[in-house]
Amino acid sequence: METMTFEKLINKVKEYNECEIEYITKAYNFASKHHEGQVRKSGEPYISHPLAVAYILASMKADRDTLCAGLLHDVVEDTDVTLDDLRFEFNDNIAKLVDGVTKMSKINFNSKQEMEDANTRKLLTSITKDARIIIIKLADRLHNMRTLEFKSKNKQIENSIETLEIFIPLANHIGAYNIKRELEDLVFYYLNQETYKRLKEEVNDFQKKAENSTDEMIYTLTKELYNHEINSRIEKEMRSIYSIYKDLQEFNKLEDIHNLLSLKICVDEIKDCYYSLGLVHFKYIPLANRFKDYICQPKTNMYQSLHTTVFGNDGYLVQTKIRTNDMDRIATYGLTGYWDVLKGKAGSEMQKDLNNKFQFYKTLQDINDLVENNEEFVEVVKNEVLNKNIYIYTTTGLIIELPYGSTPLDFAYKIGLEYGKNACAFMVDGELVPLNYKLKNNQIVKIIEGPKKIDETIDINQIATTKAKTYVKKLTNTNEN
């Protein structure tokens, strides 16, 4: 891999933020001076790592303080620089960000597991203080995964599993699809090299075979949109080999996967999205049941786009994703797509969006409030936030994100305490269901209010979420007293 240089970083930053170069140069010089003489396992000077992390952050259009914290993220842990030094040389914000990143790897405990649990908790809850900490940590992990070849086999597997269990789901929750895709393939490569290589080759062959047809389709659609005075940019979108691998557990052949070939159409305005959709469907026959409107109903990680799979040229199925350029920015960078860099309030604006729009954030806060023990906390977050989720509709069409295996009671408590407390029965897709009913993706749940008969009907072990469990337990206890 090419060594990152300061010049490359600066050129990247200049693409969106000309005016902070001086300050960033100061941070670079400071980090460079203090890491002087340190070498990475790859033989490169240590500073190449913070530089690469800052570069990843610059690709996400990070604000000044985040970039500086990226450059300085290892100085407190690996050199004799203190947080006070950073506060004095730079500012309190940068010191706090570096502190947040450092804290995750610096505590001493009796057992390794205990330490890891405490670190993981710190990592996960840091998002409630300042989401930029987790974003720096994601960039740090991405670069460490890119350079994992220099580590021992054991370390490779250990880091890959941790990335799979924690960092990839996090990237997914904040909607950072480009980071997610890259991490998925790195993890897959280190955990199952043979399968990764074989499948990558098969996918490449398939895409090569279809190349003429997809190119022709891009040409046709570009012309068609142009003729209707719609400004557009059409690109092929690549999926991670890992996500294709997961799809193959469900479908047998590559050819059966409906979105192996994928085009994205980016336009200026929302109304252009729907107009373009019409044009796509006029030109190419849509596959039934494969249309999704994530514009009116964004995913819980704020992803927005229209999806439709059509029969393209030569019979190839092609998934077409239509979105505005703004939506595309958020689909690429996730939460950081909201960074309001030039107005200098990137951090607070993003934190506000996180709070208002991203559902996992509230879940994480709830769990943090309810669970004291670190080991239990990590376990619960892995199960309820980072594991497979299902998406359930309220009767007014809101989407509620729940862990796999949730019951209607979990749903009610997730919406709000009052709903959980007052619910006595539930209709799912129009039918009354028992309280231990396991919800399935996309079902609609109606809550019926009334006095609950706790003892007879609720088995606490069948409830999936900690929040519902905790409050049902409380109710049961009051009943007994």
What is the 3 state secondary structure string of 373-436? CHHHHHHHHHHHHHCCEEEEECCCCCEEEEECCCCHHHHHHHHCHHHHHHEEEEEECCEEECCC
**Structure tokens of 428?**
């799912």
- Give which of 363, 255, 359 is closest to 316, Cα–Cα: 255
- Identify residue 244 by its one-letter amino acid code: I
**What letter does residue 293 receive in the DSSP assignment?**
E
Please choose, out of 136-144, 278-286, 361-369, 439-447, the segment that lies near Mn ion by the rule CB under 5 A. Answer: 136-144
Q: Is the CB of 77 or the CB of 114 nearer to Mn ion?
A: 77
Place of tokens 């799809």: 247
Smallest gap, in angstroms, from Cβ of residue 381 to Mn ion?
23
Smallest gap, in angstroms, from Cβ of residue 5 to Mn ion?
18
Q: Is 140 in the site for Mn ion (CB under 5 A)?
A: yes
CA–CA separation, 87 and 94 (whole Å): 7
Q: Is the CB of 130 or the CB of 140 nearer to Mn ion?
A: 140
Catalytic residues: 77-78
Report 149-188 residues binding Mn ion (CB under 5 A): none
Place of tokens 């992990």: 141
Report 60-119 residues binding Mn ion (CB under 5 A): 74
Smallest gap, in angstroms, from Cβ of residue 72 to Mn ion?
11
- Give which of 476, 424, 399, 379 is closest to 165, Cα–Cα: 379
Q: Is 272 in the site for Mn ion (CB under 5 A)?
A: no
Mask 225-264, x = binds Mn ion (CB under 5 A)?
----------------------------------------
Please choose, out of 132-140, 220-228, 427-435, 442-450, the segment that lies near Mn ion by the rule CB under 5 A. Answer: 132-140
Q: Check: CB of residue 471 under 8 Å from CB of residue 417.
A: yes
**Structure tokens of 345?**
């309030």
Smallest gap, in angstroms, from Cβ of residue 78 to Mn ion?
9
Q: Is the CB of 74 or the CB of 384 nearer to Mn ion?
A: 74
Number of residues interacting with Mn ion: please give it, by CB under 5 A: 2
Q: Is the CB of 38 or the CB of 348 nearer to Mn ion?
A: 38
Smallest gap, in angstroms, from Cβ of residue 136 to Mn ion?
9
CA–CA separation, 86 and 184 (whole Å): 34
Q: Is the CB of 97 or the CB of 435 nearer to Mn ion?
A: 97
Smallest gap, in angstroms, from Cβ of residue 90 to Mn ion?
18
Q: Which residue is nearest to Mn ion (CB)?
A: 140
Report 19-58 residues binding Mn ion (CB under 5 A): none
For residue 91, the tally of other CB atoms under 10 A from its CB is 14
First to last CA, the chain: 66
Q: Is the CB of 48 or the CB of 301 nearer to Mn ion?
A: 48
Which helix H or strand E contains 308, and what residues bound it?
A: strand 306-311
- Give the residues lining the site for Mn ion (CB under 5 A): 74, 140
